[in-house]
Structure 1
Amino acid sequence: MNRRTVLEATLLGTALAAAPAAAQAIQQPARSSRATAKDGTSLFVQDWGSGRPVLFLAAWTFNSSVWGSHIVALNARGYRCVAPDRRGHGRSDMPMTGYDLETLTDDVAEVIEQRDLRDVTLVAHSMGSIEAVNYLARHGSDRIARLVLVAPTTPFLLQTEDNPDAVPKPMIDAQNDAIAQDFPKWMAANEAPFFMPDTSEVTRAWIREMMLSVPLPVALACRRTISFADLRAAAARIDRPTLIVHGDRDASAPLPLTGARTAKLISGSRLNVYEGAPHALPLTHAGQLLSDMLAFMTS
């Protein structure tokens, strides 16, 4: 274990150890664990701590539980952490509709507005990045102070005439067909590059169960939304400080296609590349990610 890894582990461990005392010191009013979308869908929302707010958006078929360690660590540092479950995911309602980008983005806006969050650091992993970038384009940046994109799937995954180096539609369709026919088999075939070799089986099993808990029609609808979301213009208009964190061995959202292109589009953004890192950075590189987030939020 190198010195940087030891420091990262120490930082995360110290914050986690301090969390009980910090939680005891916080006297906060009771907050509802739900928000209501425009179409009446009930969204589950974790809302812990007090101070400047950090809003977490999760990856495709993930729910807010994946941010648990970060929430506890940031609570101990004096931040309020808010993390919704996307509709159709986790403890939120599972309606038959609403998995298009506009509705998903409006769901995020309802969470922010119903809790009157301001000066927000918006942290988004993978699919969450398209919701975050589209939120800024659709609802403006008045309530957002900073943006952190973790292994983003922005700006545009689909190969088109003006996006020739992206993913051909037949390849996207083939992946979706494989998921539709046997989701567990597809997950098993793609699991190894998603994690690090030393990622525990307990963690892997937890994520498999989380992903399989999402109804297959919802998973496929969200995957189509990710594939066809063209956020190049939206990214170019972002006017908030932005940190992009990406692994150079990300098989799910390859760095040259996603993180690197997004960084070029967002003026003044900072791109931190984790050597040898995969897509599941909040799980595999939690300490390093927390360290970079804290440095960015206090800069």
Structure 2
Amino acid sequence: MGYYVSVEPDVNIYVEDVNRTSRKVILFVHGWPANHKLFEYQFNVLPGLGYRCIGIDIRGFGKSDKPSVGYSYDRLADDIRYVAEALGLQNFTLAGHSVGGAIVTRYMGRHNSYGVSKLALFAAAAPSFIQRSGFPYGLAAEAVNALIQEVYNDRPKMLAEFTNMFFYQKLTKPFSDWFFQLGLEASGYSTAYVLASLRDEILFSDIERIQVPTLILHGIHDKICLPPLASALHQGIINSKLVWFEQSGHGLFWEERNKLNRELADFIG
């Protein structure tokens, strides 16, 4: 079932909600530059195991409205809070992939874990997506600047190249085409603005505030959110568990989907 939640005047967030009668709720927040369809291979399985799976399209992406402003982590985390309140969610698992992992991390710090009983981070872009003084583990800021420039110059070409970088396992052309189309559903400016947030924002203080049990899943071949980010998260989050995915790059939700679904289900219970 799909519907919209208003988070600001004239800004509506699309919500895909499967198995609404279950009290075991997982709210999924997708990565850049995709949308809730990224989690198709979780929604195929987890509702059948008794979970209510809720996927949102963050503003600017997928079926959500695409305003010209509002792409900071604070605003994106606030959008999640509006969705959680509108749906009356309590004791739910909050799960985020890539920049979605960064957004849910900000949610935990900014909203004091409102309604969340467990946190799951898949290849999360946290605590910092780029290299900084005292944190040499992310991408170079120049690489992100180049991506932003490519968005404005030739976004389809950028998306095609990014698809090849995203996955470790070999893709069929139909799958590659499907993933490419997810990126095209976003607006160009929101694609660039979220990249700027990835470049500019940090989450070190947010992870210190996370108190709920946290599952960290990360592919050892990830070329986008580099594996040391997962180690930093594990070190910084009390009561966290880190599981490495040895046959995955950034796309572990598909590359080792059976393992991800099993680890997530075992973690939630």
Q: TM-score, normalised by structure 1?
A: 0.84
Q: Which moved more, 1:76-85 or 1:180-189?
A: 180-189
Shift of residue 169 of structure 1? Answer: 2.8
Secondary structure of the corresponding residue to residue 82 of structure 1: strand
Asked if 2 retains the 8 angstrom alpha-carbon contact of 1:199 and 1:284, the reply is: no
Distance 1:109 1:124 in 2: 14
Question: What is residue 181 of structure 1 aligned with on the other side?
Answer: 153
Q: Is the 8 A contact 1:122 1:147 kept in 2?
A: yes
Q: Is the 8 A contact 1:235 1:266 kept in 2?
A: yes
Provide the residue aligned with 1:129 in structure 2: 101
Q: Which residue of 2 aligns with 1:98?
A: 70
- Mapped to 2, the partners of 1:219 and 1:292 lie a distance apart of 30
Q: Distance in 1 between matches of 2:257 and 2:78?
A: 28
Asked if the contact 1:147/1:240 (under 8 Å) is kept, the reply is yes
Q: How does 1:1-299 map to 2 (within 5 A)?
A: 33-49=3-19, 50-51=21-22, 52-256=24-228, 258-298=229-269
Moved over 4 A (4+): none
Q: Secondary structure at the match of 1:191?
A: helix
Check conservation: 2:138, 2:225, Cα contact below 8 A: no
Do 2:214 and 2:241's aligned partners in 1 also have CA atoms closer than 8 Å? yes
Higher deviation after alignment, 231-240 or 168-177: 168-177
CA pair 190-46 structure 1, distance change in 2 beyond 3 A: closer
Q: Measure how far apart 1:81 and its partner are.
A: 1.3
Deviations 1:231-253 (A, max 9, x none): 01111210000010001100111
SS of the residue corresponding to residue 156 of structure 1 reads coil
Structure 2 counterpart SS, 1:162: coil
Relative to 1, partners in 2 of residues 1:254 and 1:36: Cα closer, same or farther, differing over 3 Å? Answer: same
8 Å contact from structure 2 (residues 144, 195) kept in 1 = no
Is the contact between residue 195 and residue 280 of structure 1 (CA under 8 Å) also seen in structure 2?
Answer: yes
Secondary structure of the 1:54 match is strand
Distance (Å, rounded) in 2 between the aligned partners of 1:274 and 1:36: 37
Alpha carbons 2:60, 2:67 under 8 Å: kept: yes
- Bigger radius of gyration: 1
Point out where structure 2 has 5 or more consecutive residues left out of the alignment: none
- CA spacing shift, 1:209–1:262, aligned 2, 3 Å: same
Work out the percentage of aligned pairs sharing the same amino acid.
26
Q: TM-score, normalised by structure 2?
A: 0.93
RMSD: 1.7
Contact residue 59 and residue 66 of structure 2 kept, 8 A? yes
Q: CA deviation at 1:165?
A: 4.4
Match of 1:8 in 2: none
Distance 1:248 1:216 in 2: 30
Q: Distance in 2 between matches of 1:68 and 1:164?
A: 34
Quote the Cα distance in structure 2 between the aligned partners of 1:238 and 1:162: 22
Cα deviation code 1:179-228 (max 9, x no counterpart): 32222222333333322443222111011011022111110001111122
Structure 1 counterpart of 2:155, which letter?
F
Shift of 1:170: 2.9
